[in-house]
Amino acid sequence: MSARASSVGRVVATERRPNTAHEFHFWTSLDSPIGIGTIVRVDGDTPIAGQLPRVFGVVVEGFSYTDLQAAIDDVRGHDGLPQSAEAAPTHRAEIRLYTAHVLRQIPEEPLQPVPMGRVTLASDEDVAVALRMDAYLQPGNRTGIPIGIYKAGAMEAPIYLDADFLLGPEAAHLNITGVSGLATKTSAVEWLLASIFAHFPEQKGSVAAICFNVKGPDLLFLDQAGQLDDADRAMYAKLEVPARPFDRVHYFAPYTAKGFTLNTLRTNEALEDNVSPLTWGLNEVMQFAEVLLNKDDVDAKADAFIDFLQERVIGREFSDPMLSTTHRVRSFGELEAFFRDLLRGVEDRSSGEYWRTHHVATIRKVRNRLSNISTRCAGLVTDEGTVSDLPFGSFQDRTVYVVDVASLEEDAQDLIFARVVSKLREHLERRDLGVSHVVVFVDELNKYAPGDGQDTYVRKMLLDISERGRYLGLVLFSAQQFRSQVHRRVVGNSGTALYGRMDMDELATPGYMLLSPATKTKLATLEKGQLMVRHPHFAQPIFVRFPRPAVMRGRDGAERFPAAPEVSLEAAVMRALRSLDPGISLDWVKRTIAGHEESVVLRARTLTMQTRPERVQAFFEAQFRRIVPAAVPAAERPVSVPIKALPDDDPYGF
């Protein structure tokens, strides 16, 4: 003990302000390095059960006062002139009194009020003991994931999260709160993913991450190096995380409504090699029709008919006396053909208003709603059923999969989120995803899992992940600006919580009631790169610093790799195919697709991209062989245009 750091304070207790087993007070010199969030150690003088007590605490409140009993005395002393105070030869006696919350007591039993004793700054080893990190930093059984560095005075101690409590199975999930634009949420998650990839214990298996990019170019340059300064690099070195961008990143984005350019800001030609389209057909979508169909207009009757379609019609051969032919519905196009045939049959045969107990109005309504899906989610959902999906079943270890939904309509975002998470869950349950753990990062949780409003499919899924995901290795990293507005069970099930700079209004909500006013003030003024961390092993929240992520910021990436301008169909096809065969020219593409419909060309392109054949040109050309190109119309005599067009339904018009 005597060899330990010199005292920075003394524990003090009065009858009015006694110490307890969870809180104690101490004073320091005026120039001590103690501040809110500092971790301190108290050494008692009286042995408990033969052991001198050691108590670790984190400072949560500070007080300063002088020997004045009334402020007016000071005014009177200086004749009401503040400047005369500068002439006083002596400063008043002044105290720095701090309140700390207990992190850990040794011995832990019997649990007693904190004894009087000397206070020192906690050393690296003390911090590990205080935060119970010693339990999971044992050589040979190490499950520590660095989250940042705790700084106090000249001391810097690495802070680790326990992988068993961050990624399951003991606890799991992480939630991060903070105001926008202060390098907190996205940066922290990018840094933490790098840390997880570097430190995830081998014995726990493999890990990958799926990030939903919901804002601009935020997560679109994770494979590009960002700017780091010496302090950042020093932190990376201390925390033993490579200061480089992610090695393996795959991007997925649906097409725009036109269908031949990807709906993402990562369309720069230099970065196209790891960007894949995300398109789904009828089969993929019908499972999640519930996500897209409005509960208000899909009633029980419509629901029953949709179930009938899913079970009896879609994906199998279906015939019925009412139908003119046998239907095999595999795409939205074929579904539409089925509906046309069915409704024509029902109307022609005058067989009443019902078909197989389903009212014709219900059939019309379901047709309307389902047909509408491919319109509302154009670019993601294709009429012809072309599928380009995430590599479920062949996920790779330490790989980030980014799904860019930033430019999509809300419905399409919901559909993507619901389906991707469901598929992850299915595969993890079957243990055939390719990795044993997946981190799913969802920003703007306020929107996807709000605390109020009607229950949505997406919210139910998020609740399901947060409550049961840890057993499967499906881990939710979520972020939002206002934690108070997120469903309580989603944030409540997050074993680890990070807080960046917070809004005072948010801090005034009941969820932050247990934080001291000083801690709230610190949260409201946190610098960039600082976080407050709550973790199951930490008895109290801890403030840490983390380095800037080693990846390019979205804004910088968008400037350095500007998105390609909207291109023609020919150019879009050429660019897509060039990623497989750099020898492909625009002229060749023009010749090949001349006279073919746009949808046919796009289907050929998608098939080629999915198949990735060795002979790209031959494969692409082969997609058109079975199709007779539309005849090029002969030059016609110019048609004279009437001055005033006739209405379409004019019975006298010819």
Partner 1 sequence: MSSTVTVNEGFDVVRRRLAALLTPGVPVVSEPQPLEVASRGVQDPPTMRAAEVIEAPMRARPIQDIRETGFAAFLDGAQWSLPAAWVGSVPVVHGTVAAVIRERRERRLVTWRSPMVERALYVPVPLVSAEARAAIDATGLRLVDTLDARKAESTHPFALQELAYRAVLAARERLEQSLGAQWCEQSDATLFVDGGISGSAAMARAKCVVGVVKSHQTLHANDSDVAVIMALRPRERSSVVRIAATKRTAVASWYLRLRDSTGQDPLWGLVRVEIALAPALDVAQLAARADRISSWILAETLPLSAPDSRWDNMVYGIRDCEEFLRATRA
Interacting residues toward partner 1 by CB under 8 A: 30, 67-70, 73-74, 76-78, 84-85, 87-93
Q: How far is the CB of 93 from partner 1 (least distance, A)?
A: 6
Q: Is 320 helix (H, G, I), strand (E, B) or coil?
A: coil
CB of 53 to partner 1, least distance (A): 21
Closest distance of CB 118 from partner 1, Å: 18
Shortest distance, position 195 Cβ to partner 1, whole Å: 45
Residue closer to partner 1, measured from CB, 81 or 627: 81
Name the residue type at position 132: R
- Cβ nearer to partner 1, comparing 79 with 273: 79
Which CB, 16 or 430, lies closer to partner 1? 16
Min CB(92)–partner 1 separation in Å = 5
State the minimum distance, in angstroms, from the CB of residue 16 to partner 1: 16
Q: Kindly state the DSSP code that residue 481 receives in the 8-state scheme.
A: S
**Of 13 and 198, which has the nearer Cβ to partner 1?**
13
Residue 43 Cβ vs partner 1, minimum distance, rounded to whole Å: 21
Closest contact distance (angstroms) between CB of 120 and partner 1 is 22
Residue/partner pairs of 457-464 with CB below 8 Å, 24 or more apart: 457/288, 457/290, 457/291, 457/414, 457/418, 458/291, 458/414, 458/417, 458/418, 459/487, 461/417, 461/418, 461/421, 461/422, 462/487, 462/490, 463/487, 463/489, 463/490, 464/425
CB atoms closer than 10 angstroms to residue 555? 12
- The answer to whether the CB of 627 falls within 8 A of the CB of 600 is yes
- Judged by beta carbon, residue 85 or residue 231, the one nearer partner 1 is 85
DSSP string, 53-79: -EEEEEEEEEEEEES-S-HHHHHHHTT
88 or 508: whose CB is closer to partner 1? 88
Q: Which is nearer to partner 1, 94 or 311 (CB)?
A: 94
Read off the amino acid at residue 473.
Answer: G
Is 30 or 618 the residue whose CB approaches partner 1 more closely?
A: 30
Q: Cα separations (Å) of 638 from 20, 319, 643? A: 96, 47, 15
Nearer to partner 1, 67 or 273 (CB): 67
Distance set, CA 200 to CA 212, 247, 538 (Å): 22, 16, 20
- Angle at Cα 195 formed by Cα 189 and Cα 201, nearest 5°? 125
Going by C-alpha positions, the residue among 18, 141, 104 that lies closest to residue 539 is 104
Decide: 444 and 306 in contact? Cβ < 8 Å. no
Distances (CA, A) of 475 to 35, 176, 441: 34, 14, 9
Question: Min. distance of Cβ 116 from partner 1 in angstroms?
Answer: 13
Cβ-based nearer residue to partner 1, 77 or 517: 77
Residue 480, beta-bridge partner list: 177
Cβ–Cβ < 8 Å for 271, 409: no
* Separation between Cα atoms, residue 97 and residue 25, nearest integer Å: 7
Rounded to a whole number of angstroms, the minimum distance from the CB of residue 91 to partner 1 is 5
Say how many C-beta atoms besides its own lie within 10 A of residue 434's C-beta. Answer: 17
